[in-house]
């Protein structure tokens, strides 16, 4: 097996209705990459035909079977150069006459397999059926390779499925639009699944649609090796299979620390019915009435001195309240500081009581954290207090390496219905697992609060793009082009309040706390982010509904992306047993 090898992401603008020309150009570019030493070469979604088809009748002259004429042409090239090629094309199933947006993997010995786009974008239903192949991973001489197509990767489930099946490389072919690229979603999927992602995106303009380019290679640590910005081109990157098989983020076993027995909600589709009806069915647990609220996060240095921490919480709470905040989120262990047995308290200990008094006095909801002791067990616990007093707690369910030295994992998801909306809670490392935000979203959360002490990279910048986009889509330089938690908010259509600690003892220095809105592709973005300073960030959260309609009219209550999930494909996400050897493990 080749464990280190060169790869190529091809960026190309196909010409609609000119299939032979497109195939000829792709053939030349693939051959150029092969001669340059690339072993795995990826081309864009629908690269043989163009993308913006009006209907089934219009695309009919350009569909073909797999295998077929196009795959045969590229098989010859793969055999001659001993390479692997990914091609995107519109497929016809000869048995059913259904059309699919498909990707094929071709190797030195011929056609290896295909993927049919399972999560269609707005355009595919005009002519294609949703894919019916369950996200295969292909075992090859250069590692385990999987294929995803454009919109597929908006959904945390698709990349997670192939990661659990052992993929080393996700070949993501796309016609990505309306965003500066390399897109933050691409980075999250590589990072949270600790695999390589080769992104082959088209560029150019077709039938009123501006495509974004940015074809690239992303490493398992989220590092973008480089990219093609605008125009036809090839980016060459490197794959090291040893890196994709570590499955670690800063010594934490990101796949083995999963808790699939807690993810049963992933098999539900709670937003397929009117959520205002669904969450009030039988009079049980209806969503709070919608309103506009101001929510905030406080970023602070967390010390080992409880009195110092409580004093800082007081000062920042007052600042948040003076700026109109109705809720403020503080970092993980913000009351107690890092674990010390002597600073642990019961849920109604004196430090927690002081936070309760603070909430009552200033009439504000506060999320904070401390080391909880119950019997002989310690927990990394977040608490919610408010004008009513103590409201509830959540015990961290996913423990990182440091937590495991002292803490017992929590066993229960928690949501709380407040006047500002339904609030779900996570703590720190929990949110590194894409399943967690998804579960809380499916439980109807409007807001996820996440007190944290994260000391791994969660942001990266962008120097700007030459791809033209309509205002207000940003194209200029941005030090926070990618923010891990922005993607978490958008993929789940929730507001997300991420408060990160600043603490030299815990080696946390980046901060980057922020509050993020529920629509990643709404510009200018509804968010407020802090860098490395202590302080407060605030945005408005809107859960209101337009009058004279009983269906949600804003995205946080409607959850458009969550609605488009395909839960029948996700069963492996809740498996706890590897049926091949009978071991109870989390990576299949």
Closest CA to 491 of 530, 441, 549: 441
Residues 89, 101: Cα–Cα separation, whole Å: 6
What's phi and psi for 197, nearest 5 deg? -130, 120
How many Å apart are CA 46 and CA 204, to the nearest integer?
14
What is the Cα–Cα distance from 346 to 349, expressed in whole angstroms? 5
Q: Is 117 a catalytic residue?
A: yes
Identified catalytic residue from 13, 19, 39, 45: 45
**Which residue among the candidates 19, 117, 144, 559 is catalytic per the annotation?**
117
Which tokens hold the place of 198? 């080769």
Q: Are 332 and 360 in contact (CB under 8 A)?
A: no
Q: What is the C-alpha separation between 22 and 13, in angstroms, rounded?
A: 8
Cβ proximity of 367 and 327 under 8 Å: yes
Clarify whether 195 is annotated catalytic. Answer: no
CB 512 within 8 A of CB 458: yes
Q: Which helix (H) or strand (E) holds 378?
A: strand 377-386
C-alpha closest to that of 373 among 337, 404, 344, 333: 344
* C-alpha torsion sign, points 135, 154, 459, 543: negative
CA 305 – CA 313 distance, rounded (Å)? 13
17: three-class secondary structure by DSSP: coil
Question: Are the C-beta atoms of 288 and 417 separated by less than 8 Å?
Answer: yes
Give the residue among 454, 514, 541 at the shortest CA–CA distance from 298: 514
d(CA 517, CA 206): 30
By DSSP bridging, strand 421-425 and strand 415-418 are antiparallel
For 359, residues 6+ apart whose C-beta sits below 8 A from its C-beta are 365, 366, 385, 386, 387, 389
Output b/e per residue, 241-256; b: 16+ Cβ within 10 A.
bebbbebbbeebbbbe
In this structure, what are the phi and psi dihedrals at residue 109, rounded to the nearest 5 degrees? -105, 10
| Cis before 231 (ω within 30) | no
Task: Extract the tokens encoding 52.
Answer: 């913006």
Cα maximum dimension of the chain: 76
Active site residue 311: no
Catalytic residue among 114, 124, 150, 312: 150
* Cis status of the peptide bond prior to 41, with omega within 30 of 0: no
Please state at what angle helix 484-492 crosses helix 434-442, rounded to 10 degrees: 30
CA–CA dist 132, 313 (Å, integer): 52
Which residues are annotated as catalytic?
A: 45, 117, 150
């Amino acid at each position: 097996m080749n464990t280190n090898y060169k790869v190529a992401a091809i960026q190309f603008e196909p010409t609609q209705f000119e299939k032979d020309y497109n195939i000829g150009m792709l053939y030349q570019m693939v051959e150029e990459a092969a001669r340059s030493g690339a072993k795995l070469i990826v081309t864009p979604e629908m690269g043989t035909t163009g993308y913006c088809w009006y209907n089934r009748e219009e695309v009919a002259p350009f569909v073909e079977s797999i295998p077929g004429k196009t795959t045969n042409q590229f098989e010859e090239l793969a055999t001659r150069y001993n390479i692997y090629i990914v091609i995107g094309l519109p497929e016809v199933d000869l048995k059913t006459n259904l059309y699919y947006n498909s990707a094929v993997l071709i190797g030195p010995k011929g056609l290896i397999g295909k993927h049919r786009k399972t999560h269609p974008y707005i355009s595919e239903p005009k002519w294609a059926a949703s894919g019916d192949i369950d996200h295969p991973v292909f075992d090859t001489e250069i590692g385990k390779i999987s294929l995803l197509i454009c919109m597929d990767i908006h959904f945390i489930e698709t990349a997670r499925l192939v990661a659990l099946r052992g993929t080393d490389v996700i070949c993501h072919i796309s016609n990505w639009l309306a965003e500066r690229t390399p897109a933050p979603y691409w980075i999250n999927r590589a990072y949270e699944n600790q695999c390589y992602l080769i992104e082959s995106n088209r560029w150019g303009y077709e039938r009123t649609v501006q495509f974004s380019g940015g074809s690239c290679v992303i490493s398992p640590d989220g590092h973008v090796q480089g990219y093609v910005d605008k125009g036809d081109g090839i980016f060459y990157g490197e794959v090291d299979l040893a890196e994709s098989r570590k499955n670690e983020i800063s010594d934490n076993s990101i796949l083995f620390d999963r808790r699939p027995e807690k993810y049963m909600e992933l098999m539900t589709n709670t937003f397929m019915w009117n959520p205002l009806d669904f969450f009030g069915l039988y009079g049980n647990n209806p969503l709070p009435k919608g309103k506009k609220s101001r929510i905030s996060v406080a970023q602070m240095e967390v010390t080992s001195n409880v009195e110092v921490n409580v004093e800082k919480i007081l000062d920042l709470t007052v600042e948040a309240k003076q700026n109109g905040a109705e809720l403020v989120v503080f970092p993980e262990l913000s009351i107690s500081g890092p674990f010390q047995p002597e600073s642990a308290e019961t849920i109604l200990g004196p430090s927690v009581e002081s936070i309760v008094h603070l909430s009552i006095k200033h009439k504000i909801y506060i999320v904070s954290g401390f080391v909880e002791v119950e019997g002989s067990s310690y927990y990394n616990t977040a608490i919610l207090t408010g004008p009513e007093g103590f409201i509830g707690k959540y015990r961290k369910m996913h423990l990182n390496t440091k937590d495991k030295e002292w803490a017992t994992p929590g066993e229960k998801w928690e949501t709380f219905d407040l006047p500002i909306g339904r609030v779900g809670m996570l703590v720190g490392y929990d949110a590194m697992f894409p399943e967690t935000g998804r579960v809380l979203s499916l439980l109807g959360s409007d807001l996820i609060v996440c007190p944290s002490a994260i000391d791994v990279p969660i942001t990266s910048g962008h120097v700007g793009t030459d791809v033209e986009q309509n205002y207000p889509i940003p194209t200029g330089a941005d030090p926070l082009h990618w923010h891990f938690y922005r993607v978490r908010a958008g993929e789940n259509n929730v507001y997300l309040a991420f408060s990160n600690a600043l603490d030299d003892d815990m080696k946390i220095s980046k901060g980057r706390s922020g509050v993020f809105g529920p629509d990643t592709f709404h510009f200018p973005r509804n968010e407020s982010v802090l860098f490395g300073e202590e302080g407060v960030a605030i945005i408005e959260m809107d859960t209101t509904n337009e009058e004279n309609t009983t269906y949600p009219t804003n995205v946080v209550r409607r959850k458009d992306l969550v609605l488009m999930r395909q839960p029948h494909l996700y069963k492996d996400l809740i498996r706890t047993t590897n049926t091949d050897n009978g071991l109870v493990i989390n990576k299949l």
